[in-house]
């Protein structure tokens, strides 16, 4: 399967698309206002211990207290001693001791504790944290307080797994566990040792800072979205990484020269005239993904409704007219929908409880086939999923691991005109759309001077500060743009007009 990573950098943030066989499979949006938090390590102060919930709330210096379950309190914190186990999954050997924690937890108010974010804040909920800290490197993961060596399950060659385990055992420092990552396959001892030493230096800095300073604070900031994707997902089975920013290209290649030089030739700097997401057919897929309704090739369609409690997905036959009996026609649409739903779950990064209402089928054989095929499609997902059989009400209930807010919360912001019952595109996303429009116009004609009509909030976002986003945009594309505020414009709406001719350039902006 061909796999490409395509990155679009704009003045308002970075968008990262992962294509599988030229079809959009995953999309990430990194905005300056929404930095990635998963993996960050804090020194926190326990505020409330709630025994009835087997949990406590920890002040880590953010606006909302973080939530820490007793079952997520690490071994090295409790003093139980290291775990000795031969399993290959970090979660497996962490969970083995959790039952012991049912006894009284030695936590009291105002106690300091080291924690790591596992789930980012969502809406009014604070971050989810654990004191089972782990540091991820390019080739391995360092786990303080454990006595264990594991190897990624994705390395299927038995001899290679044994070889890596022997090497890891040689370099494992006392009081630390090691998980060897998939990209470590075929790497020799010096490479693994260098990665381990770098992780140990990082952990030493964290410990020293934690002992020196008092109160809640950030001790370690994990990589940003772009860097973490290169570290975790740019493996030998990725064909290309295509970037439209020279700065980003240099950062990626410089990092790879140190850790995986053989991957450097696979990184390409995009030099085309069209916007990069237009060139690779991603922009249309992105717009389709953000919609509530997804049409299927058969004529059926899927509706996605996201609430704070759960995600509801409804499959409808739409324009499809089957020639067979009802069950056969329904199975055909359901199987097509199952494939698209599995893709959309990854693409939209939907997590938590998901309830899917497929088209009803009477035959138990066909119901089982649908569930089996749906589970097969979900195997591509890196997030953990759990799926039930079809209930007596014709519903499939499932859970999908939620680590960060879904894509809709990165791309949209609550609408002030509807008391947050709907969404409008966020200012960075509108700014990105404006930049794309300018680039499209520049590729189709030589015009360099424009008038831009936008909602006042977008005008403020573009022109805020001396070295503002509008100025960066003008320097980037060698154009001059005069901004006009239009109070009656919707936030997402803008108009680009030629200053010379007064022509509305909307026809040149559309794909």
Assess whether 167 and 210 both reside in one domain: yes
Rounded to whole angstroms, the Cα distance separating 452 from 465 reads 18
Assess whether 192 and 50 both reside in one domain: yes
Assess whether 259 and 340 both reside in one domain: no
Assess whether 169 and 242 both reside in one domain: no
Pick from 385, 407, 429: which residue ends a domain? 407
For position 417, what pLDDT does the model report?
A: 61
Q: Is residue 161 part of a domain?
A: yes
Three-state secondary structure call for residue 369: helix
CATH of the domain at 201: 2.40.50.140
CATH of the domain at 436: 3.40.1260.20
Pick from 241, 261, 280: which residue ends a domain? 280
Assess whether 197 and 81 both reside in one domain: yes
Q: Is the dihedral of CA 320, 321, 322, 325 positive or negative?
A: positive
What is the 3 state secondary structure string of 160-176? HHHHHHHHHHHHCCCCE
For position 36, what pLDDT does the model report?
A: 80
Residue of 476, 65, 174, 219 whose CA lies nearest to 56: 65
For position 101, what pLDDT does the model report?
A: 47
pLDDT, tens digit (0-9, with 9 covering 90-100), for 137-186: 989 999 998 888 889 888 888 999 999 999 999 999 988 999 999 888 88
Number of domains present in the structure of the chain: 4
Assess whether 323 and 343 both reside in one domain: yes
Q: Is residue 136 part of a domain?
A: yes
Q: For the chain, percent helix, then strand, then coil, each to nearest 5?
A: 35, 30, 35
For position 422, what pLDDT does the model report?
A: 67
The mean-pLDDT minimum among 2-6, 46-50, 305-309 falls in 305-309
Q: Is residue 269 part of a domain?
A: yes
DSSP output for 260-287: -GGGGGGEEE---SS-HHHHTTHHHHHH
Assess whether 326 and 419 both reside in one domain: no
Q: Is residue 285 part of a domain?
A: no
pLDDT, tens digit (0-9, with 9 covering 90-100), for 105-124: 567 888 889 999 998 887 77
Rounded to whole angstroms, the Cα distance separating 142 from 187 reads 17
Instruction: Give residue 400's Cα distance to chain centre.
Output: 13
Assess whether 133 and 230 both reside in one domain: no
For position 419, what pLDDT does the model report?
A: 57
Pick from 182, 204, 222: which residue ends a domain? 222
Q: Is residue 9 part of a domain?
A: yes
Residues 204-210: what's their mean pLDDT? 92
Sheet holding 480-485, edge to edge: 480-485, 449-454, 494-498
For position 51, what pLDDT does the model report?
A: 81
Residues 70-90: what's their mean pLDDT? 51
**Structural domain containing residue 349:** 290-407
Residue of 130, 507, 128 whose CA lies nearest to 352: 128
Q: Is residue 103 part of a domain?
A: yes
CATH of the domain at 386: 3.40.630
Report the run of H or E that residue 472 belongs to, with start and end: helix 469-477
Asked whether 257 and 264 are in contact (CB, 8 A), the reply is yes
Asked whether 236 and 228 are in contact (CB, 8 A), the reply is no
Query: Is residue 75's pLDDT more than 60?
Result: no
Separation in Å, CA 248 to CA 243, 255, 258, 394, 439 = 7, 11, 16, 48, 19
Report the run of H or E that residue 450 belongs to, with start and end: strand 449-454
pLDDT, tens digit (0-9, with 9 covering 90-100), for 382-403: 888 999 999 988 899 999 988 7
Assess whether 86 and 135 both reside in one domain: yes
Assess whether 70 and 216 both reside in one domain: yes
Rounded to whole angstroms, the Cα distance separating 31 from 14 reads 7
Asked whether 291 and 329 are in contact (CB, 8 A), the reply is no
Q: Is residue 175 part of a domain?
A: yes
What is the 3 state secondary structure string of 149-161? EEECCCCCCHHHH
Rounded to whole angstroms, the Cα distance separating 358 from 370 reads 9
CATH of the domain at 11: 3.30.420.60
Assess whether 308 and 273 both reside in one domain: no
Asked whether 206 and 51 are in contact (CB, 8 A), the reply is no
Q: Is residue 56 part of a domain?
A: yes
% of the chain with per-residue pLDDT over 70: 91
For position 81, what pLDDT does the model report?
A: 34
Assess whether 99 and 72 both reside in one domain: yes
């Amino acid at each position: 399967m061909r796999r490409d990573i395509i990155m679009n950098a704009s003045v308002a943030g970075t968008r990262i698309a992962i294509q599988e066989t030229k079809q959009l499979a995953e999309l990430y949006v990194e905005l300056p206002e929404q930095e990635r938090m998963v993996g960050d390590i804090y020194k926190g102060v326990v505020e409330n211990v709630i025994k009835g919930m087997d949990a406590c709330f920890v002040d880590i210096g953010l606006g909302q207290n973080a939530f820490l379950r007793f079952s997520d309190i690490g071994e090295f914190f409790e003093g139980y001693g290291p775990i000795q186990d031969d399993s290959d999954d970090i979660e497996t050997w962490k969970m083995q001791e959790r039952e012991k924690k049912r006894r009284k937890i030695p936590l009291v108010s105002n106690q300091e504790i080291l924690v790591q974010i596992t789930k980012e804040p969502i809406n009014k909920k604070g971050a989810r944290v654990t004191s089972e800290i782990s540091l991820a490197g390019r080739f391995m993961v360092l786990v303080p307080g454990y006595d264990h060596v594991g190897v990624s399950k994705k390395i299927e060659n038995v001899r290679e797994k044994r070889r890596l385990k022997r090497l890891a055992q040689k370099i494992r420092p006392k009081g630390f566990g090691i998980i060897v990552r998939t990209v470590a396959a075929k790497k020799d001892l010096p490479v693994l040792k260098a990665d381990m030493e770098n992780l140990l230096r990082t952990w030493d800095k964290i410990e020293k800072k934690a002992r020196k300073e008092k109160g809640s604070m950030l001790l370690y900031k994990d990589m940003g979205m772009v860097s973490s994707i290169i570290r975790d997902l740019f493996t030998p089975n990725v064909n290309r990484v295509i970037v439209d920013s020279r700065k980003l290209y240099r950062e990626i290649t410089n990092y790879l020269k140190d850790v995986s030089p053989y991957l450097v030739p696979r990184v390409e700097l995009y030099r085309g005239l069209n916007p990069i997401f237009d060139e690779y057919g991603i922009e249309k897929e992105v717009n389709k993904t953000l919609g509530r309704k997804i049409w299927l090739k058969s004529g059926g369609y899927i509706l996605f409704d996201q609430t704070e409690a759960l995600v509801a997905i409804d499959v409808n036959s739409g324009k499809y007219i089957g020639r067979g009996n009802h069950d056969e026609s329904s199975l055909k649409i359901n199987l097509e929908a199952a494939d698209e739903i599995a893709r959309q779950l990854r693409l939209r990064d939907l997590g938590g409880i998901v309830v899917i209402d497929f088209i009803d089928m009477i035959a138990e054989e066909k119901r089982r086939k649908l569930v089996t095929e749906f589970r097969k499609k979900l195997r591509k997902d890196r997030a953990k999923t759990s799926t039930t059989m079809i209930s007596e009400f014709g519903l499939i209930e499932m859970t999908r691991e939620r680590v960060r807010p879904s894509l809709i919360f990165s791309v949209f912001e609550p609408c002030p005109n509807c008391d947050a019952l709907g969404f409008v595109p966020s200012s960075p996303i509108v700014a990105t759309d404006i930049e794309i429009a300018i680039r499209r116009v520049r590729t189709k004609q030589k015009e360099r001077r424009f008038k831009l009509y936008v909602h006042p909030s977008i005008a403020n976002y573009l022109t805020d500060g001396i070295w503002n986003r509008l100025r960066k945009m003008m320097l980037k594309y060698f154009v001059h743009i005069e901004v006009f505020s239009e109070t009656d414009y919707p936030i997402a709406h803008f108009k680009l007009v030629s200053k010379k001719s007064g022509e509305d350039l909307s026809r040149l902006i559309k794909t």
